Homo-oligomer: A and B are copies of this chain.
Amino acid sequence: MSRSNLPPLRLHVPEPPARPGEEADFSHIDILPAGVTPRPDSAADSATMRDLAYGLVRVLDDEGNAVGPWNPRLSPDVLRRMLRAMALTRAFDDRMFRAQRQGKTSFYMKSLGEEAVSIGAAFALQRDDMCFPSYRQQGILIARDWDLVDMMNQIYSNKGDRLKGRQLPIMYSAKDASFFSISGNLTTQVPQAVGWAMASAARGDTRIAASWCGEGSTAEGDFHAALTFATVYRAPVVLNVVNNQWAISSFAGFAGAESTTFAARAVGYGIAGLRIDGNDALAVYAATAWAAERARTNHGPTLIEHFTYRAEGHSTSDDPSAYRSSEERSKWPLGDPVARLKAHLIAIGEWDEARHAAQDLELAEQVKAAAKAAEKNGILGHGMHQPFATMFEDVFEDMPWHLKEQSAQMMSERMRKWPKPGEGPR
């Protein structure tokens, strides 16, 4: 091979379909119709189902019918509860986003357009299955009927915050809801979920674990460690990758989406991988139930790629119009998860527009009432925080001398600032 005959090397750099000002274009995405992707037995060997990583599990078709082998055949009652949880999540997000804009807290992250991902899963898991979420699965807490006021106290870092105002808003922790403390550091939760599942299996328990991370986050080494441990020990765990097409300003191509799917990562480790319509609550339910059954019957882990779209900015700290076409949201080929589940319920005669509108009003009221209650405990930066001394608690179980000294120092600083008795926050 004579090298002088060779052209110079070139570097390929991924390019999203559309940048600001350009026409949104999802034509490169091949959307399989609902019902066509087969459903193997949940105990089948992963080697027999590699194609699923390149398929797309969908239950709800464009007419709102539930079709195909993955149809979980849920009762109308369960469907309505799922719809309600999704709508409540949306209402909650909406209010808290505005609260941040009103200066009531420092930060917020919506899950708009991705509600099915967490709520479909929460309904398919047992309530005591342990969830290791990223920051966009507030829907799990809501599906598990967690107290909205408790969540808001956390968002406001106020004196009612069980987490003592220590964490950035939305970094919940709710052990009683089997919901692990959210980390600011991406993807650390994924090997943790595997470790929890390994422990559960080692103990002969029946509870399984599940984790969630974004498609961008799959690049972190922790993700790989998790999949390696999961395949080695066949841990009873469901690993969810929420492919909402964007990290912050970086589209999924910078995590490898140009060359294959994220479900295909599972193939690389010889574990089951499902690629599903993440805007289809029934597909999410069905896939999660399948993976949970697989895990619970000692057939090992499953990775589920939820193909969805982040309809809002990454967080309150960014403006997506600076890096993507503003048309994208409306052109997203898999529609809106709330609208789709609603259409299904209407199609089967179990719901109607009027009930939906009434429910939306009711949920908005519920959220508003919760916000009012939470705000009574204070909003960020107005002094109604947990007592100063709590800062030094929980670093260790017992407080060592140096933290006691530092705590005393802080209290003496407080005295300088607010020398009069009763003055200032405590």
Contact = CB atoms under 8 A, between A and B. Distances in A.
Copy number in this complex?
A: 2
A357 interface: no
A95 to B, nearest CB: 35
B270 A267 contact: no
A17 to B, nearest CB: 16
B6 A296 contact: yes
A255 interface: yes
Interface string A1-33: 101001111111110000000000000000000
A234 B204 CA distance: 45
Given A13-B233, A233-B13, A260 B269 contact: yes
24 contacts: A1-B292, A1-B293, A6-B297, A7-B297, A9-B204, A9-B206, A9-B208, A9-B296, A11-B235, A13-B233, A14-B232, A50-B50, A219-B224, A219-B225, A221-B224, A231-B260, A232-B253, A232-B254, A259-B270, A259-B271, A260-B269, A260-B270, A265-B268, A267-B267
Interface in A246-272: 253-256, 258-260, 264-271
**6 A-B pairs closest in CB distance:** A221-B221, A268-B268, A260-B270, A259-B270, A224-B224, A8-B204
Interface stretch (A75-83, A194-202, A312-320): A194-202
Contacts of A235: 11
B200 A9 contact: yes
A225 B232 contact: no
A271 B260 CA distance: 9
A232 B14 CA distance: 7
Nearest to A289: B1
A297 B10 CA distance: 9
A298 interface: yes
A358 interface: no
A164 to B, nearest CB: 32
Given A12-B298, A256-B269, 16 more contacts: A3-B296, A6-B206, A9-B201, A9-B203, A9-B236, A10-B298, A12-B300, A219-B225, A231-B258, A231-B260, A232-B253, A258-B270, A259-B270, A264-B267, A266-B268, A267-B267
A259 B269 CA distance: 7
A146 B18 CA distance: 51
Interface residues on A, range: 35 or more
Given A221-B221, A260-B268, A204 B10 contact: yes
Contacts of A264: 267-270
A201 B8 CA distance: 8
Contact of A233 (B12, B205, B271): B12
Contacts of A9: 200-201, 203-206, 208, 236, 296, 298
Contacts of A225: 219, 221
A298 B228 contact: no
Nearest to A1: B293
A46 interface: yes
Contacts of A228: 218-219, 255-256
